[in-house]
Copies of this chain bind each other. A is one copy, B any other.
Amino acid sequence: MTVEELVKEPASWLDGSGPMSSVVLSSRVRLARNLKAYSFTNRSQDSELAKILDQFSRVVKESTFLRKGMLVHIGKLKKLERDFLVERHLISPDLAKGDKNQGLYVGDREAVSVMINEEDHIRLQAMRSGLQLREAWQIVDRIDDELSKHMDYAFSDQYGYLTACPTNVGTGLRASVLIHLPALVLTKDINEILQGIGQVGLAVRGFYGEGTEVLGNLFQMSNRTTLGRSEEDIVDDIEQATRKIIDYEENARKTLLTDARPQIEDKIWRAFGILKTARVLSSQELMSLISAVRLGVGLKMIQSISIASLNHLIMLLQPAHLQKWFNKKMDAGERDIRRAELVREKLTTLSGYAEDDGQPRQGGSLR
On A, residues with C-beta under 8 Å from B are: 262-263, 265-266, 269-270, 272-274, 276-280, 303-304, 337, 340, 351-353, 355-358, 360
B residues in contact with A265, CB < 8 Å: 279
Q: What would be 27 A-B contacts, judged by CB atoms less than 8 Å apart? A: A262-B279, A262-B280, A262-B337, A263-B279, A265-B279, A266-B278, A266-B340, A269-B278, A269-B355, A270-B273, A270-B274, A270-B278, A270-B279, A273-B273, A273-B274, A273-B276, A273-B277, A273-B278, A273-B355, A274-B274, A303-B357, A304-B356, A304-B358, A353-B353, A353-B358, A358-B360, A360-B360
A333 CB, min distance to chain B CBs, angstroms: 8
B residues in contact with A360, CB < 8 Å: 353, 358, 360
Which of A279, A304, A351 has the most B CB atoms < 10 Å from its CB?
Answer: A279
Beyond A266-B279, A270-B274, A273-B277, 11 extra complex contacts between A and B, CB < 8 Å: A263-B280, A266-B340, A269-B277, A270-B273, A272-B355, A273-B278, A273-B355, A303-B357, A351-B358, A358-B360, A360-B360
Quickly give the copy total for this chain. Answer: 2
Q: For residue A263, which residue of chain B has the nearest CB? A: B280
A26 CB, min distance to chain B CBs, angstroms: 28
B residues in contact with A280, CB < 8 Å: 262-263, 266
| Interchain residue pairs A-B with the least CB separation, the first 6 | A273-B277, A273-B273, A266-B279, A269-B277, A265-B279, A266-B280
A160 CB, min distance to chain B CBs, angstroms: 54
B residues in contact with A353, CB < 8 Å: 353, 358, 360
B residues in contact with A278, CB < 8 Å: 266, 269-270, 273
A347 CB, min distance to chain B CBs, angstroms: 10
A299 CB, min distance to chain B CBs, angstroms: 13
- C-alpha spacing A337/B260, complex, angstroms: 12
A196 CB, min distance to chain B CBs, angstroms: 33
- C-alpha spacing A351/B277, complex, angstroms: 15
- C-alpha spacing A265/B353, complex, angstroms: 19
- C-alpha spacing A72/B273, complex, angstroms: 43
- C-alpha spacing A340/B360, complex, angstroms: 24
A277 CB, min distance to chain B CBs, angstroms: 3
Contact A272 B277 (CB under 8 A): yes
B residues in contact with A340, CB < 8 Å: 266
B residues in contact with A352, CB < 8 Å: 358
Contact B357 A304 (CB under 8 A): yes
- C-alpha spacing A262/B351, complex, angstroms: 24
B residues in contact with A279, CB < 8 Å: 262-263, 265-266, 269-270
B residues in contact with A277, CB < 8 Å: 269-270, 272-273
A263 CB, min distance to chain B CBs, angstroms: 6
A114 CB, min distance to chain B CBs, angstroms: 41
B residues in contact with A273, CB < 8 Å: 270, 273-274, 276-278, 355
B residues in contact with A304, CB < 8 Å: 356-358
Q: For residue A344, which residue of chain B has the nearest CB? A: B269
- C-alpha spacing A169/B356, complex, angstroms: 52
A357 CB, min distance to chain B CBs, angstroms: 7
B residues in contact with A356, CB < 8 Å: 304
A91 CB, min distance to chain B CBs, angstroms: 33
